[in-house]
Amino acid sequence: MTSKLYRRALVVVALGALASVPTLNAQPSPAGNVRDAVAHAKEAVDHGKQGHADALVTHAEKSRNHAERGGRDPHLKEAITHLNEAIEHGKAGHADAATEHAETALTHLNEVK
């Protein structure tokens, strides 16, 4: 009786460990983060051109978060600098200045190799 209980417990633990492996390894690659950063930067620019400073800030923050995990390319550092400026201007309600910085950030993100 006791050995059956231990055997079942071992099977449950083993299955739980196997089920968690894909979740633990599901971190995006640096290239995947750069792609996501580009996508959110494009959204930020689109919203900025429509005058939606709040939506620009949301996407610029997401883009920056992905860019920070995108590796060590010098263009990423420059993109992050411009995304920070876009966020700052967007929070102040200056959609036009924020859009310019988001566009510059997007240019740098597209240059990442």
Tens-digit pLDDT string for the chain (113 aa): 667 776 777 677 777 666 655 554 556 799 999 999 999 999 999 999 999 999 999 999 999 999 999 999 999 999 999 999 999 999 999 999 999 999 999 999 999 98
Distance CA 83, CA 41 (A): 8
Q: pTM score, two decimals?
A: 0.77
**Which residues are CB-contacts of 103 (< 8 A; sequence separation ≥ 6)?**
45
The helix or strand, by DSSP H or E, that contains position 30, with its residue range, turns out to be helix 30-49
Distance CA 101, CA 90 (A): 10
Distance CA 76, CA 111 (A): 9
CATH 3.40.50.12780 fits 30-110, yes or no: no
Contact 25, 96 (CB under 8 A): no
How distant is the alpha carbon of residue 24 from its chain centre? 18
